[in-house]
Amino acid sequence: MATLVRTSDVAPSERAEFWRAMVAGSFVPLDFSFPDPAAFQGRLTDHRLGATVLSTVSAGAHRAERTARLISRTDVPMVKLSMPLRGHVTIRQNGREAPLLRGDIAVYDTTRPYTISVDRACTMLVLMFPQAALRLPRAALAEVTARRVSGGHGLGGLLGPMLAGLSEHVDEIDRPYACRLADNVIDLVSLMYAEQLGEPGSSDAASPTTLMTRIKAYIEQHLGDPGLGPESVASGVHISTGYLHKLFRAENTTVGRFIRERRLEHIRRELTDPRHSSTAINAIGARWGLVDAAHLSRLFKSAYGVSPREYRLTRAA
């Protein structure tokens, strides 16, 4: 169910503080400044889709700032994506500035300072989700925040309509399907930035950060292969197996652990997806490269505390 907040529901003298509190409840705490606080008009509708929040924000002129002081009070790393539907918004982070017009897209990191400037009334979609869902190393995320992505072509041209369509029809979609669609939107965001970071000719195309993004994208594309492992991954991205292991050690993990975690996450999603409610657990596991049912059950229980069957039954209930 959607949550609706309107400044018109409170007295003019209370609007600025009311908006500040409501935005903190929907997103993260921000400092606001308004040209005319009493005249400010704002409207916010948000939908909670699991760990993801999808919101439509309509607001008059203002400036919102995420400061180090506010960041220190919260410890959940999130990513926010904004896409104007009307008007103009400017996002600043990491020394960059992204002026966004209708359909343009930019992401920003809630664990780093940022500002959002709105010069006149605008309406925008905001998608907020855990940083882990983006599957980008922290250094890579710092490279893509506050960079304008055109909604007119490429993956941005696919993402914009998909996000707008989800926002428009989310109330008509059963919650499990809406959550799954939100996951699909985030997957497309991840793919879009992986493509940008891996563009041939970019100045950091061979950097460890960019190479890890390529490696993880390759793994995602081949999770269904039961034989996926360090040797096949290294061969697929044209590096040595030793260097592959070194890159993952720098992130305090291993190639095998990363592959296992990604497979289990996809399996977990499908176990709660109504479209797969009649699909055998063994078949779901095999689709993601885990063909041994007993092995799948042991891995799943180790990761989530219950067996795949118990997890499905609990979520269905």
Report how far Cα 39 is from the mean position of its chain's Cα atoms: 34
pLDDT at 126: 96
Instruction: Measure the CA–CA gap between 148 and 158, rounded to whole angstroms.
Output: 15
78-135 residue pLDDT tens: 999 999 999 999 999 999 999 999 999 999 999 999 999 998 899 999 999 998 888 7
- Quickly list H helices, the chain: 15-26, 68-71, 131-134, 138-144, 154-169, 175-197, 208-221, 230-237, 241-249, 255-271, 281-287, 293-304, 308-316
With a cut of 70, say whether residue 33 has pLDDT above it.
yes
Q: How far apart are CA 309 and CA 294, in angstroms?
A: 12
- Examine the pLDDT at 239 and tell me if it is beyond 60: yes
Structure confidence at residue 207 (pLDDT): 66
Task: From residue 277, give the alpha-carbon distance in Å to each of 75, 270, 281, 309, 316.
Answer: 35, 8, 9, 11, 9
Per-residue pLDDT, 2: 73
Residue 205: is its pLDDT beyond 50?
Answer: no
Location of each CATH 2.60.120.10 domain in the chain: 3-197
The stretch 237-253 carries a mean pLDDT of 89
Model confidence pLDDT, tens digit, residues 173-202: 888 888 888 888 998 898 888 777 764 434
Mean pLDDT of the chain: 88
Output the pLDDT for position 204: 42
Pick the CATH number of 208-316 from 3.10.310.10, 3.30.360.10, 1.10.10.60, 1.10.1740.10: 1.10.10.60
Q: Residue 106: helix, strand or coil by DSSP?
A: strand
What's residue 202's pLDDT?
A: 41
**CATH 1.10.10.60 domain range(s) in the chain:** 208-316
- Report the pLDDT value the prediction gives residue 198, as an integer from 0 to 100: 63
DSSP single-letter state for residue 42: E
Residue range 221-239: mean pLDDT, rounded: 90
Percent of the chain with pLDDT over 90: 56
Bin 238: left if φ > 0, else alpha if -120 < ψ < 50, else beta.
Answer: left
Residues in a beta bridge with 242: none
How does DSSP classify residue 148? -
Tens of pLDDT, residue by residue over 2-29, are: 778 899 999 999 999 999 999 988 889 9
pLDDT at 235 over 60: yes
What is the CB neighbour count within 10 angstroms for residue 78?
21
What secondary structure does DSSP assign to 149-191, as a single string?
Answer: B-TTSHHHHHHHHHHHHHHHHGGGS-HHHHHHHHHHHHHHHHH
Query: Which candidate, 180, 207, 191, 112, places its Cα nearest to that of 155?
Result: 191
| Angle ∠(205,246,227) on CA atoms, nearest 5 | 90
Check: CATH 1.10.10.10 for 3-197? no
Mean pLDDT of 247-274: 92
- In degrees to the nearest 10, what's the CA dihedral of 161, 119, 76, 137? 60
**What is the average pLDDT across 255-276?**
91
Length of the chain: 317
Q: How far apart are CA 14 and CA 105, in angstroms?
A: 32
Burial per residue of 204-216, b for 16 or more beta-carbon CB atoms within 10 angstroms, e otherwise:
eeeebbbbbbbbb
